[in-house]
Chains A and B, each alone.
Chain A
Amino acid sequence: MKLYCLSGHPTLPCNVLKFKSTTIMLDCGLDTTSALHFLPLPLVHSQLFSKLPGWVSKDGAINLDKELKECAGRVFVDSQPEFCLPEQELLDLSTIDVILISNYHCMMALPYITENTGFTGTVYATEPTLQIGRLLMEELVAFMERVPKAQSATCWKNKEIQRLLPGPLKDAVDVWAWKRCYGTQEVNSALSKVQLVGYSQKVELFGAVQVTPLSSGYSLGSSNWIIQSHHEKVSYVSGSSLLTTHPQPMDQTSLKNSDVLILTGLTQIPTANPDGMLGEFCSNLAMTIRAGGNVLVPCYSSGVIYDLLECLYQFMDSANLGSAPFYFISPVANSSLEFSQIFAEWLCQNKQSKVYLPEPPFPHAELIQTNKLKHYPSIHGDFSSEFRQPCVVFTGHPSLRFGDVVHFMELWGKSSLNTVIFTEPDFSYLDALAPYQPLAMKCVYCPIDTRLNFHQVTKLLKEVQPVHVVCPEPYTQPPPSQSHRSDLMLELQPAPMPYRRCAVLSLPFRRRYERIHLLPELAKSLVPSEIKPGISVATVSAVLQSKDNKHVLQPVPKAAPAPPSKKRKRVIEEPPELLAPKPLLSGAVPLEPFLATLHKHGIMEVKVEETADGHILHLQAEDALIQLEEDGTHIVSDSEPLRATLRDLVLRFLQKL
């Protein structure tokens, strides 16, 4: 069993498991942090970004002023942002049989895997994962296609040149794996390969293994996966949460008794408690609105935003936020808000029960009804005529490099009354803000990551007790910025197996058993004999047939009649010769009764010698030896009749099968 690690990112995993002749890809996350090295894509003409100087090396030898621009003391690539793909060279992607998706954030690289790689397999995901994943992909495509940039920058990626660039561009890794965003067609084609599954549904893969999605409690439709054969069980735990937010709670019990547990997607901010951060978010928002400023919340169009809106819904009355409108701007804002309300079966019990009242499960429906929350596909159109300040704007993309958020950063960045509140933990907020400096608006970092923290995961692993744990390398040591925090790492016995990008791990566990079926007619011919109370054994002579990972024992075919003609072209496989099996002996020879028997048969002089494994009996008069050991009995005698007599005496004490 092998694990190919195509991504080293702990929360955007992409691993391939080879197990019992199947090749299973576990998630295909897309690392978009590479976009931070690019200039933002403004929606309207930007004074700030249109007149930036190009970058020329100090000695003037390298001039990349078309590709690189200097902005706020840093160098950015001036082209359409590119994303870091999972490793493509480690294994032939066309050999992948299935892809299991655990949540919509972990499928954003799907078109890169399934399109133009020869992939012919199937993708398994739950319905909310597919639908919301589609929305996020469509949004990403829309962000890119709305402001097309013909130019593609590649010169800077040259190793010799990159080496001379200023940081952090100089230190960017795997830059040749960076690719531009896919298009709508690729999205549609990739998603057409998705087959929907429900929680606890068992899906048989080629008769070899069974895969089952389990609720992971992190987002709508998010799942962990169980991959098991009859005798082996591998659990794949991706983004999971034990907090009570909107999704169905995590199914922990089904993870028990795993031989291997692949653990990814823990919280990215282990020191920030989501509840505390939610409180910070609300108080900073209220403080800004009360002082007459605007609040910008760069966020994804699905996920934590539902919880943020719910929290604000509860808080707004007591905080007296009644008059400030909330705007949600995204090409998929409407679909996201509506989808969240229709996936009732995937929600937590509390929200599910609302549907029967009937009430919308999320309170944002009421915010929309009362005109408190308005949503628009973009800043163009209706929004520009209805826009009122002070207000709260939720919009993407959280990297601040593309999407409507770029416009608001430029619009509000100059006033200290306004605040930008970062809630998504995927990007370093300081890097995200870098091209907008100097900035007067207040910046607040309240990362809300509801995924498991180290304390919770340690407790979980204690309960489910996997034999081996495999996890990304960063989880096996404290974060570099807090090297003293030994509580912020996985400390397990035995130690977890760490992986990094491009690693190939041989999982430390040997398959020992295989299930084999007996055909009824063969079973009928068996003669079981009881060796211990309740345990019977029988010898079997049969032909083992293995096909499609199924093994069947069939009766040995009778010898075929003589071939009618000698002109056959193919040699028919000769059925094996049926030999009557020799009887098998079992049991042990008890010393005292055996000596008594010898005595009865006239063998009087027996000297017993105790050895490490049993006894040696010297028959002194007969000059013979009987060696009684745990796993064998030897009779040494020159006289054949004596040997035969002694053999028969020994056999009296043993069982024959």
Chain B
Amino acid sequence: MDGDCGALLPRVLKVLADPTFDIPDDTCLEKLLDWLQDQARLEDAQSLVQEHPCIPHFISAVCTSESPDAAILAFAVKFTGILAANEGAFLRLDETGVIRMVFGCEEGIMKEMWEDPSVRSAWLHGLGGLVQHERGLRFFCESGLNRVALECQHDKSLFVTSGANNLLAHILNFACLPQCEESVQGDVTCRSAWDRLTVDIVKHISDTLSSDAQFQRRQALKLLALTLPGCRRPLLDRLWAAVLGPLELQIKMEPNSLVLPVMETLEAASRTDLFGQSDARIEDLIEAMLTSGDPNKVIQSASAIIHLEQCSESLKRKALDFILQPLLLISSSSTDTPSPVNGDSVKVHRAVLEGQLTQKSTCVPLLSLSLTSVSKLTSMEFQFMEIPEQLVIGAVMELLWMCLGESKTSTHLIGCSRLQRCCLDALSNLSTCQGGSAIRKNVLEALYHCLRNPDSEPTVLQKSLQAVLKWICVGSYSSELTEFLSQDLFPVLKRRVCDVQWEVRDSTLEFITQLSAHFTDNSVYRELLDCSGILPLLLASAEDGESYVRASAIAALGQAVTTLGPQGVQDPQSGLQDDVVTRLMTILAEDSEGFSRRAVVKVFTSWLKYQDSPPGLDLHGVLSLGSDDLDWEVKMYTLELAEALINKSLGLSFPNEPSPGPERPDVTEAQKKLEENRVLPVLLKNLFDYDRPVAHKACQLLLRLREDLGLTAGSCDSVEATAILGGGQSAEEMVKTWLKKRANSKSTSASESLQKTPDRTAGACVAASDWPTKLSFWELLNCLDLELRAQTLSLSSDHVVTSPRSLMEDILSAAQQSEDNMVDCY
């Protein structure tokens, strides 16, 4: 703890202990507790208690207060728990009687304030800290706190029950904690105390699981799921033997509304040593979850079973059948293909399912669940086992056709966009399946119909476009794909780019960008794009009324130019690039929205990165417009453009690209290039920008420039200052102003500061008062104290406000203010 904070702490704790103090804001207590927890971890909690006697004073003051604020009391209890986690600190606090005062909930202030759930929750949290060591556990046992903790497990407040669950699970697994293992094994008193506790808790879980109250059963299952992963034998066997019977009854219960917690428990059990043990019957229980009468619940269970690592193949196959059954059943009704899911297990289920599938209200949630589970399956190794993937994809497509009204059966699903969205998500994920390329044509046809349907919602369209992109990437490029692009996709994209809803226009433009990026190296695609008539529409979209759409259109145009490449672009006939450049420059200069201007700068940056700068592009103009922009993000992107330009000029690699070689560029040459593009004035101007991230980025770039150029004193010649600073006044003035300011603040002349810098040999005095006509690159960069500046700028702007010192000062000033207010009142 630093000195300032250490000095403030007693005053703060005194204020907090004052019952008349009104806490301005709950979060300040949370922040203070976080900080104190860090201190207890970094320093030794014992010494914290010893060195700051104000701490036990504070705790006992709160506990002996007549009517403390519940929030303050909760804070004190949690703080005590944090400290008591350390055995030494525990002993120290126990000596002062604080521990008993805080955790003895049946007397004193805790008893009075027990009704407040925040106090109960804090008590459980505090105990969680306390039982980290054998002495704590013994205290817990001797004080009979076990009974209260078990009661809390049925508390009406969810925070309290969750705290109780964590505490009880921790106690059950106490013997397995590395720091406690030895004492439990060796120390007989400790061992017997812990044994007694576990007997009580295990009985409690078993009893609660058989209870009539669903809420209590749910809590017991949660506690079990929390305990099982860390539980070891022999307690594990004892625990499982106690819960097995009630658990079986719970699984057989109809309707079973606790499917998810039961599955979580079984999942946790399957990861323990019990799994291989036949009398534990874990797999039997898991299988029994599939016999529920409610198809929705069965699919939920099946979906969880599929993801169990330990589970047998046959059970997984059975679960898979249940997941796929609704999907294959409804699609086979229209295609008359026999369903491969015909096992005995699913037959019983079938009648109920068929009934539900004919009603829209039950059919939609069921199919959505099935489709969501299918989507999850695609990321798994075994996927669909022996069920052919094409069959699953075909079923999803059939369902999509039903939603589009193009299927001969099931008219009740027409226009259901929720199902369409699920189908499209599933189709997107299924694109990774093996053998997808064989049915790519059919999938693309279904997706094309979604795109063409005038009643498709914007989200459906967006998902269709994403699915198209994924399926286009499946397999190799073929003439079939050319046909799809030119005859189906491009015409529909052209219409969607002009859609009435801006969301649709925006997602279509984003899609065009992604598509062009995917096919950058494909000459057939380039030709198709060139002839499709999309490019004039993209140019028109850059003037769309909606700024998001304009930004997407700009990105699409930029990517189109990149994809069409030097050949297409430099074709004097097309004039596309000139048009694009002119349009983008106008947007940068005139557009009222930041989104579009940012997009323009990003496009120029990407062009510069991946190809030569377009002949008509006035980079200096872009840099100067971008760095003068009012939007800080535009300025950031302008700096990225400057970075790209620096890299390009100096022949350096981009951060994420392989380095071209170890040679350093010729400094004079580099300097000349940078002067040509007038990059330095932009960096210098932005170095003094009021937006911190901008100034930071500019500073980093200057530092990198100095390093990359390997600049040292004398490594570069002094030249006319105007050559470096771009001739304009602004950069020069900013540098001068800054130097002046610094000189004033340090009460020393700028020239003196320069004198102090080592290796100053050039002799030119760079000071605000006598600005030299000639200076070298190195001199300029050197006088700006870039390292110090970078360090200052790297701190977030609220670093002062979020410091513990500021927090404590805030609390103190709030206390002061409330006193002032009291005075004002009289």
Using a CB–CB cutoff of 8 Å, the interface residues on chain A facing chain B are 271-273, 275-280, 282-287, 290-292, 311, 315, 317-320, 446, 484-487
Of the candidates B454, B496, B536, which one forms a contact with A276 in the assembled complex, judged by CB atoms under 8 Å apart? B454
Assembled-state Cα–Cα distance A650/B558 (Å) = 108
| Identity of the chain B residue whose Cβ is nearest the Cβ of A417 in the assembled complex | B533
| Identity of the chain B residue whose Cβ is nearest the Cβ of A482 in the assembled complex | B405
Of the candidates B500, B536, B540, which one forms a contact with A278 in the assembled complex, judged by CB atoms under 8 Å apart? B500
| Interface pair B454/A317, CB less than 8 Å apart | no
Q: Which of B141-149, B281-289, B321-329, B407-415 contacts A (4 or more CB under 8 A)?
A: B407-415
Assembled-state Cα–Cα distance A291/B533 (Å) = 8
Assembled-state Cα–Cα distance A279/B505 (Å) = 12
Assembled-state Cα–Cα distance A123/B408 (Å) = 47
Across the interface, which residues of A come within 8 angstroms of B549, CB to CB?
318
| Interface pair A287/B498, CB less than 8 Å apart | yes
Assembled-state Cα–Cα distance A446/B495 (Å) = 13
| Interface pair A320/B543, CB less than 8 Å apart | yes
Across the interface, which residues of B come within 8 angstroms of A446, CB to CB?
454
Assembled-state Cα–Cα distance A279/B502 (Å) = 11
Of the candidates B405, B409, B536, which one forms a contact with A271 in the assembled complex, judged by CB atoms under 8 Å apart? B405
B501 within 8 A of A: yes
Assembled-state Cα–Cα distance A284/B499 (Å) = 8
Nearest Cβ on chain A to B533's Cβ, whole angstroms: 6
Across the interface, which residues of B come within 8 angstroms of A275, CB to CB?
455
| Interface pair B454/A318, CB less than 8 Å apart | no
Across the interface, which residues of B come within 8 angstroms of A272, CB to CB?
454
* Sampled A-B contacts (25; CB under 8 Å): A273-B455, A277-B454, A279-B499, A279-B500, A279-B501, A282-B499, A283-B495, A283-B496, A283-B498, A283-B500, A284-B495, A284-B498, A286-B498, A287-B495, A290-B537, A292-B536, A317-B545, A318-B545, A319-B544, A319-B545, A320-B543, A484-B408, A484-B409, A486-B411, A487-B414
| Identity of the chain A residue whose Cβ is nearest the Cβ of B454 in the assembled complex | A276
Further 18 A-B residue pairs, CB within 8 A, beyond A276-B454, A290-B498, A320-B540? A276-B453, A277-B454, A280-B495, A282-B499, A282-B500, A285-B498, A286-B498, A287-B495, A291-B533, A291-B536, A291-B537, A318-B502, A319-B498, A320-B541, A320-B545, A485-B411, A487-B412, A487-B414
| Interface pair A318/B499, CB less than 8 Å apart | no
Nearest Cβ on chain A to B639's Cβ, whole angstroms: 32
Nearest Cβ on chain A to B359's Cβ, whole angstroms: 15
Assembled-state Cα–Cα distance A37/B529 (Å) = 42
B474-516 contact mask (Cβ, 8 Å, vs A): 1 or 0: 0000000000000000000011111111100000000000000
| Interface pair A487/B411, CB less than 8 Å apart | yes
Across the interface, which residues of B come within 8 angstroms of A286, CB to CB?
498
Nearest first, the 7 A-B pairs at minimum CB distance are A318-B545, A276-B454, A286-B498, A276-B455, A290-B540, A283-B498, A287-B498
Assembled-state Cα–Cα distance A276/B455 (Å) = 5
B546 within 8 A of A: yes
Nearest Cβ on chain A to B535's Cβ, whole angstroms: 10
Of the candidates A290, A315, A317, A485, which one forms a contact with B500 in the assembled complex, judged by CB atoms under 8 Å apart? A315
Nearest Cβ on chain B to A425's Cβ, whole angstroms: 14
| Identity of the chain B residue whose Cβ is nearest the Cβ of A282 in the assembled complex | B500
Identify which of residues 195-217 in chain B touch chain A, using a CB-to-CB cut-off of 8 Å: none
Assembled-state Cα–Cα distance A320/B541 (Å) = 8
User: Is chain A's interface secondary structure helix, strand, loop, or mixed overall?
Assistant: helix
Contact of A273 with B544 at beta-carbon distance under 8 Å, contacts A287-B537, A487-B414 already known = no
Across the interface, which residues of B come within 8 angstroms of A277, CB to CB?
454
Assembled-state Cα–Cα distance A277/B495 (Å) = 13
Nearest Cβ on chain A to B580's Cβ, whole angstroms: 16
Assembled-state Cα–Cα distance A290/B499 (Å) = 12
Assembled-state Cα–Cα distance A320/B412 (Å) = 39
B408-451 contact mask (Cβ, 8 Å, vs A): 1 or 0: 11011010000000000000000000000000000000000000
Assembled-state Cα–Cα distance A285/B411 (Å) = 32
Which residue, B454, B533, B545, has most C-beta atoms of chain A within 10 A? B454
Which residue, A278, A320, A486, has most C-beta atoms of chain B within 10 A? A320
Assembled-state Cα–Cα distance A311/B500 (Å) = 9
Of the candidates A279, A292, A315, A320, which one forms a contact with B454 in the assembled complex, judged by CB atoms under 8 Å apart? A279
Across the interface, which residues of B come within 8 angstroms of A283, CB to CB?
495-496, 498-500
Across the interface, which residues of B come within 8 angstroms of A320, CB to CB?
540-541, 543-545
Assembled-state Cα–Cα distance A122/B501 (Å) = 49
Assembled-state Cα–Cα distance A280/B545 (Å) = 19
Assembled-state Cα–Cα distance A273/B417 (Å) = 14
Assembled-state Cα–Cα distance A285/B499 (Å) = 10
Across the interface, which residues of B come within 8 angstroms of A285, CB to CB?
498
Assembled-state Cα–Cα distance A484/B406 (Å) = 10
Across the interface, which residues of A come within 8 angstroms of B546, CB to CB?
318
Nearest Cβ on chain B to A421's Cβ, whole angstroms: 12
Identify which of residues 512-553 in chain B touch chain A, using a CB-to-CB cut-off of 8 Å: 533, 536-537, 540-541, 543-546, 549
| Interface pair A273/B454, CB less than 8 Å apart | yes
Across the interface, which residues of A come within 8 angstroms of B541, CB to CB?
320
Across the interface, which residues of A come within 8 angstroms of B545, CB to CB?
317-320
| Identity of the chain A residue whose Cβ is nearest the Cβ of B538 in the assembled complex | A290
Assembled-state Cα–Cα distance A277/B408 (Å) = 24
| Interface pair B411/A318, CB less than 8 Å apart | no
| Identity of the chain B residue whose Cβ is nearest the Cβ of A286 in the assembled complex | B498
Nearest Cβ on chain A to B549's Cβ, whole angstroms: 8
Across the interface, which residues of A come within 8 angstroms of B540, CB to CB?
290, 320
Across the interface, which residues of A come within 8 angstroms of B495, CB to CB?
280, 283-284, 287
B312-345 contact mask (Cβ, 8 Å, vs A): 1 or 0: 0000000000000000000000000000000000
Across the interface, which residues of B come within 8 angstroms of A318, CB to CB?
502, 544-546, 549
Across the interface, which residues of A come within 8 angstroms of B533, CB to CB?
291
Nearest Cβ on chain B to A283's Cβ, whole angstroms: 4
